[in-house]
């Protein structure tokens, strides 16, 4: 009886490993089929050229961002 239980357990483990491999293969296939966007990313380089950020600006921004969580 124990030998049958061990054999069944081994079969179950093999099936689980097979399913895990299939899931992994499916994930890889899906990732390969995703097409990258044809749009170029927007860069912000030079947008703030000549702008000076003061400590008061930083403090105000922090206050605004963290006001809801009480920091």
**Does residue 14 lie in a domain region?**
yes
| Residue that is written with structure tokens 């097409």 in the block | 35
**Does residue 50 lie in a domain region?**
no
The tens digit of pLDDT for each residue in 25-71 reads 999 888 888 867 677 878 877 887 888 889 999 889 888 887 777 65
Domain that holds residue 8: 1-34
Which two structure tokens, joined as six digits, stand for 45? Answer: 């380089």
User: What is the pLDDT confidence band of residue 16, given thresholds at 50, 70 and 90?
Assistant: very high
**Does residue 41 lie in a domain region?**
no
**Does residue 19 lie in a domain region?**
yes
Domain count of the fold of the chain: 1
**Does residue 12 lie in a domain region?**
yes
**Does residue 58 lie in a domain region?**
no
- Answer whether 0.85 is exceeded by the pTM: no
């Amino acid at each position: 009886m124990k030998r049958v239980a061990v054999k069944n357990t081994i079969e179950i483990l093999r099936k689980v490993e097979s399913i895990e491999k299939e899931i992994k293969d499916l994930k890889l296939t899906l990732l390969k089929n995703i097409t990258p966007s044809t749009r170029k990313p927007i860069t912000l380089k030079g947008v703030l050229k000549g702008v000076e950020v003061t400590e008061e600006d930083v403090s105000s921004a922090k206050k605004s961002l963290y006001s809801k969580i009480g920091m």
